[in-house]
Amino acid sequence: MCARSPLARALQWRGPEVSDCVRRVLLGRAPRDVIIARGHDSITATNRRAIEITKDPYVTKRGDCIIACCAERAAGELSPDVLKALASGGVVVVMIDAGGLREIVTGRAPRAVPLSSHRVVIRRSEYVDSSTVAVGASKAAADLSSAVVARLRSGIPVRVVIGACP
C-alpha cells in the first residue's frame, strides 16, 4: 500500500466543500495568510483537543497543545480578508510546514473575528475565544505525525498557512 499525501489524508471523510477549499487555499485562490514561527525542544504535541501557535519565545512541557513559538503574528493580526472570512463562517484550512513535512488541518470558521495579539488556536471542540481561528478541527496536536513533531522539537522554522472559504 502506498503512503497517502497530507492533502489526501486531510480530504478523507470531509466532503467536496472541504476538498475545494483546501485546493483554493493552497493555490492562493481563497483568503489566506502566512505566519512564520519556530519549533522548540520542549514541544510535546500530546493534546487531543487543540493546536496552538504562540508568540511566546519559549514552550514548557505543560503547553501540550503548543506546536510552535516565536510567531511573528497572532490570530487578531491576520490579514483583513482572512479575519472577514473567519467571521463569515465556512471552511478553514491550516497547513503546517515543518522543514518540508506538511500537515493539513481543516475545520469550521468560528463566526467571530479573533482579537488575540498573543496566539492562534485551532480547536476540535466548538469553544470560541479571542484566539480561535477554527472549531470542529480534523486534528489536534496529538494527531500530528511523529515525523512532523520531531522536526518541531528540533527548533526549525515553521510556516503556518491559515485560509478560509466563506
What predicted TM-score, i.e. pTM, was given to this entire model?
Answer: 0.91
pLDDT at 123: 98
Task: For each of the domains in the chain, give its residue range(s) and CATH number, in order of start.
Answer: 6-165 (2.60.120.630)
Alpha-carbon span 34 to 51, nearest angstrom: 16
- Please state the rounded mean pLDDT for residues 28-38: 98
8 Å CB contact between 132 and 41: no
Over residues 60-104, the pLDDT tens digits come to: 989 999 999 999 999 999 999 999 999 999 999 999 999 999 999
